[in-house]
Structure 1
Amino acid sequence: MEPKMETKVIAIDVGYGNTKAVWKNGIDKLGRERWGEICFRSVAPLALVDEKSSGMSHSHNKVLLSINDRNYYAGPGASLGIESRALDPNYIESDEHEALLRASLHFAMRDMNCVFEEIDMLVVGLPVLGFNARSKRLEQIASQPRTIPVPGALQEKGHPERALLHKSPRRRP
């Protein structure tokens, strides 16, 4: 009998104030499903320097992401405290939105202690007011292959950066 493969389901809501993500993370000692989660400010400041490579103090609660030849930090440790924000109806098209999606996937890998190249289902969200107008485009964005920085502890086990593929994104208001 073949072992049952665990289905990878991740839900990410990149909101105006916070990015929230939830993922299934196996079974606990009592046989109950365990879910991982993260919530952090929806900010992705430009990274002017790679803090880790330059020997500066570095927070493990943020991840350096390269998107369209620009570097960003995202995650709980990326907030500078006071950030200016503008509500943009095309925000899902921005590098910052992509950075927040990738950071959420990075932290899911870290919590699950595994590198994955495919997700069986990625659930993404939009504000109700923009759902009809933008849902098809968000589905296209969510379906794109993307490179996710592998957490340091997993790199130490011999894993390089990996492309993460989404098989079946689902839209929810």
Structure 2
Amino acid sequence: MNIEIIKGDITKIEADAIVNAANSSLLGGGGVDGAIHRAGGKQILDACIEIRNRQGKCKTGEAVVTTAGNLPAKYVIHTVGPVWNGDEEKCSKLLANCYQNSLKLAENLGLKIIAFPNISTGVYRFPKELAGKIAVEEVKNFKSEILEKVIFVCFDEENEEIYRRLLDE
């Protein structure tokens, strides 16, 4: 599987799916979540409401899929990252689940290209270095005959540098 790192805006990425660092309500919020909902339009929110009506909130570490609305991607995979509380073991496992469940969902949909943001590193305050290590490790360890490329879309230079260094190790 090819792994690419870019600094940019995930709402502009052409991929089969982009991953949204969602909150458990699935109704949009700040950061990446708000940007994806704004750029993708009402279809994404409508699809999220439908999911909520069917299953309730999305639990931390789990993932669900919706249309991408007006985005250049085909789908948005919404995953709920953990809020950092200092419990490294628990938070790390939940963050790893975000990547595993998103990748499994993409594979089940037969997708070839998936793009991830830096999950939980914004307002959820997950340490960027640890989050990057988990993200790169989970993607490298995920074996797939279907997925061809994973793009890490870094919001800032700090994350971009961390991911590039981790990928080279």
TM over 0.5: no
Larger helix percent? 2
Larger strand percent? 1
TM-score (norm 1): 0.37
Structure ID, larger Rg: 1
TM-score (norm 2): 0.38
